[in-house]
Amino acid sequence: MDTANKIFVAGHRGLAGSAICRKLREMGFHNLVLRTRHELDLRNQTAVEDFFAAARPEYVFLAAARVGGILANSRFPAEFLLDNLAIQSNVIDAAYRHGVKKLQFLGSSCIYPKYASQPIREDALLTGALEPTNEWYAIAKIAGIKLVEAYRKQFGFRAISLMPTNLYGPGDNFDLQNSHVLPALLRKFHEARVAARGEVVVWGTGTARREFLHIDDFADASVFLMLHYDSPEIINVGFGEDIEIRDLARMIADVVGFSGGIVFDTTKPDGTPRKLLSTDRLKCLGWQAKIGLREGIERTYEWFRNQPEDPQDDPARRRADTGPLVERVRN
Ligand SMILES: NC(=O)c1ccc[n+]([C@@H]2O[C@H](COP(=O)([O-])OP(=O)(O)OC[C@H]3O[C@@H](n4cnc5c(N)ncnc54)[C@H](OP(=O)(O)O)[C@@H]3O)[C@@H](O)[C@H]2O)c1
C-alpha cells in the first residue's frame, strides 16, 4: 500500500472507521475516499456498484455496519441481520469486481460460541452455539467472514477478516439505547455525578468478564494488518487481558469522580460469562496493544466531556439515527 493509493474507509464517521482514518492520515496516506451513510447507503446494491465504478478505490477498510449493544440487538433483530448482510455483501462483491487490490472486513468477537474455551482462539469459530442476545448480528458477521473466504478461494481476491474485541474510545456511541457497556457506564456515572445521585444501577451481576481495546490501538493494528497480513485465516485483535464488569464499573466511577453506590440489577442479562480473545496469532506477527485500560478510559472521558451539548452536533446522539427498516425508536 502506497501513500498515494486511493483508500475507501467505509463507515469513516464511526468509532473504528474514524480511528482508521486518523491512523492512515498520520502515516501519510492522503487519498482517502469517504462517504457518509446519507451520501451512500451501503445497503443499496446499485448505489454501491455505481460508487465503485466511479471512485475506483484501490484498498477498502469495511468498517461500516449496524452496531449496538444487547438492547438494540434484542429490539431490532431483523435490521441487525439484514442490514449487515446487505452492507458486507454489496461492498465485498463490488470491491472484487472493480479491481480493489485488498479489502479488510471487520467481524467481531461475538461470532465465537458462547461457551468457547478462553482465551478464544480463531479456530473456535463455528464449534458451538452462539450467545442468543446478539446472534442476529453474529450470524451476519459469520456470513461476512465466509464471503471473504469464498471470494479468496474462488477468485483469489485479497481480502482479510479481523475479529476485534470490544472497542472503546473517542468517537464512541454514548446513546444509552444502543451503546456498548463501557461508553454506557461512562455516561451513566458522569450523569450521576453531575446530578449528585446517590447510586448507579448497572445491568447484570457484574461478574461477567470482558476485554476492552482502545480504538487508537485497534486502528494501529488494523493498518498494520492491512500492510502485513494476507491469509484466509481470521485474526483476533484484542488487548490480551479481561476485567470483571464490577471492577470496570468501579474504575469508571473513579475516573469520573462518582463517589456514590453501585447497584447490580441481577434481573438483567449478563450475556456471555467471559470473552477474552487469544492474541497469539497477532503477537506472532509482532503487534501488541499499548494503551492500558485506565489510561484509555481517562482519554475517552476527556473526549466525552468536550462534546457539544447540542444534540444536532453530538456524534453520540447522531449515531442513534441508524435508519431501522421497520420503525424509528425515539429516546
Ligand atoms: N465497537 C466495537 O466494540 C466493535 C467490536 C468488534 C467489532 N466491531 C466492528 O467494527 C465495525 C465498526 O464498528 P463501530 O463500532 O465503528 O460502529 P459505529 O461507530 O456504529 O459506526 C458504524 C459506521 O457504519 C456506518 N453505516 C452504518 N450503516 C450504514 C449504511 N447503511 N450505509 C453506509 N454506512 C453505514 C455509519 O455511517 P454514518 O456515520 O454515516 O452514520 C458509521 O460510520 C463493525 O463492523 C463492527 O462490527 C466493533
pLDDT for 269-321, tens place per residue?
887 788 899 999 999 999 999 999 999 999 999 999 998 865 445 444 444 33
- Cβ distance 213 to 238 under 8 Å? yes
- Minimal-distance CA residue to ligand 1 atom 24: 64
Length of the chain in terms of residues written: 331
Predicted local distance difference test score (pLDDT) of residue 308: 83
For 46-67, b/e burial (b = at least 16 CB within 10 A) is: ebbeebbeeeebbbbbbbbbbb
Ligand 1 binding site (Cβ under 6 Å of any ligand atom): 11, 13-17, 36-37, 41-43, 63-67, 87, 106, 108, 164, 166-167, 173, 180, 319
Q: 96, 137, 151, 168: which is the annotated catalytic residue?
A: 137
Task: From the CA of 172, give the closest atom in ligand 1.
Answer: 19
Cα 197 to ligand 1 centre (Å): 33
User: Would you say the C-alpha torsion 121, 123, 128, 129 has a positive or negative sign?
Assistant: positive
Q: Which atom of ligand 1 is nearest to the CA of 321?
A: 41
More confident residue, 45 or 308: 45
Helices (H) and strands (E) in the chain, counts: 11, 13
pLDDT at 310: 52
- Whole-model pTM: value is 0.92
The verdict on whether 137 is a catalytic residue reads: yes
